[in-house]
Amino acid sequence: MCDKPRFLLAGDRGFLVEFGASINPEINQKVRQIFLSLEKMPIEGVTEVIPTYRSILISYDPFKTNPERLKTRILDRENNLDKCDIPPPETIEIQVAYGDDFGPDLEFVAQHNKLTPEEVIQIHTSGTYLIYMIGFTPGFPFLGGLSEKIFTPRLEKPRQLVPAGSVGIANNQTGIYPIDSPGGWQLIGKTPIRLYDPNGSPPILLKAGNYLRFKSISKKDFQEIAVRYNG
């Protein structure tokens, strides 16, 4: 499934290392392994490493190194991955209050798929989702693993404001909005957990390559957790 890595220049301070041409967990696992190995044992001159669905973006200091030298080092790293102690991925649980004001589109998602709202919640909470990549807005997870039983197209007209914490579905994707932003996803619930807290440690809760599960909580639990979070 994984191809021989392709190296693609991205300007004079960065390049992409591509491990495959599709979205699948096996390629992403390779991305995670190389990424964690580069985080753990940095290569001289590398300034930033960003994991993606199927590639790694390497930023470097051109006064200290060059792409050719880095290419050799990265291929060498790939061949010796078994010598690098990579921890297994973690699974994080995200509590979600589903429906009503928290998820105004839950009814629509149910109707669209000829299910009851309870069945949508049951299906959404029974999946384990791979965090392929973080981006778009700070802390926004690109998740894989949504059951096709609840695939739902985007809203025809995006909302001007989707509140932070909203959990949504767009076609074959599910995700969480970390900050207030405009958005066109079908909103089915909301989490009181903060995915993005600029002054927190760490400021971003999720990490690419790990897994995520949703847990259904009551509106009362939501309020309690929200209060605990915000002091």
Partner 1 sequence: MAKKMEIFEVIQPGAYTTVQDRGRFGYQQFGVPVCGVIDSFAYRVANALVGNFQGQAVLEATVIGPTLKVLNQGLIAITGGNLSPFLNNTPLPMWESVAIHPDDILQFKGVKSGCRAYIAVAGGIDVPMVMGSRSTYVAGKIGGIDGRPLAAGDRLNKGEGTGKIGVRFHSDLIPTYLSNIEIRVILGPQDDYFSEDIKKFFTSTFKVSTKSDRMGYRLEGDPIVHRKGVEKSIISEPSVPGGIQVPPDGQPIILLVEQTVGGYTKIATVISSDIGKVGQAKPGDRIHFRQVEIEEAHRILREEKEKIESIKMFLR
Q: In the complex with partner 1, which residue's Cβ is closer, 47 or 218? A: 47
Near partner 1 in 139-178, by CB under 8 A: 139-140, 142, 178
Q: How many CA atoms lie within 13 A of 118 on its CB side?
A: 0
| Least distance CB 140 / partner 1 (angstroms) | 5
Q: In the complex with partner 1, which residue's Cβ is closer, 120 or 208? A: 208
Instruction: Write a three-state SS string for the chain.
Output: CCCCCEEEECCCCEEEEECCCCCCHHHHHHHHHHHHHHHHCCCCCEEEEEECCCEEEEEECCCCCCHHHHHHHHHHHHHCHHHCCCCCCCEEEEEEEECCCCCCCHHHHHHHCCCCHHHHHHHHHHCCEEEEEECCCCCCEEEECCCHHHCECCCCCCEEEECCCEEEEEECEEEECCCCEEECCEEEEECCCCCECCCCCCCECCCCCCEEEEEECCHHHHHHHHHHHHC
> Is position 15 an interface residue for partner 1 (rule: CB under 8 A)?
yes
Among 25, 45, 127, 138, the residue binding partner 1 under the rule CB under 8 A is 138
> Is position 136 an interface residue for partner 1 (rule: CB under 8 A)?
yes
Which x/- pattern over 29-58 shows residues binding partner 1 (rule: CB under 8 A)? ------x-----------xxxxxxxxx-x-
Near partner 1 in 176-205, by CB under 8 A: 178-179, 181, 196, 198-199, 203-204
> Is position 135 an interface residue for partner 1 (rule: CB under 8 A)?
yes
Near partner 1 in 57-116, by CB under 8 A: 57, 59, 62-63, 66-67
Region binding partner 1 by CB under 8 A among candidate stretches 9-17, 77-85, 96-104, 110-118: 9-17
User: Which residues form the interface with partner 1 (CB under 8 A)?
Assistant: 8-16, 22-23, 35, 47-55, 57, 59, 62-63, 66-67, 133-140, 142, 178-179, 181, 196, 198-199, 203-204, 207-208
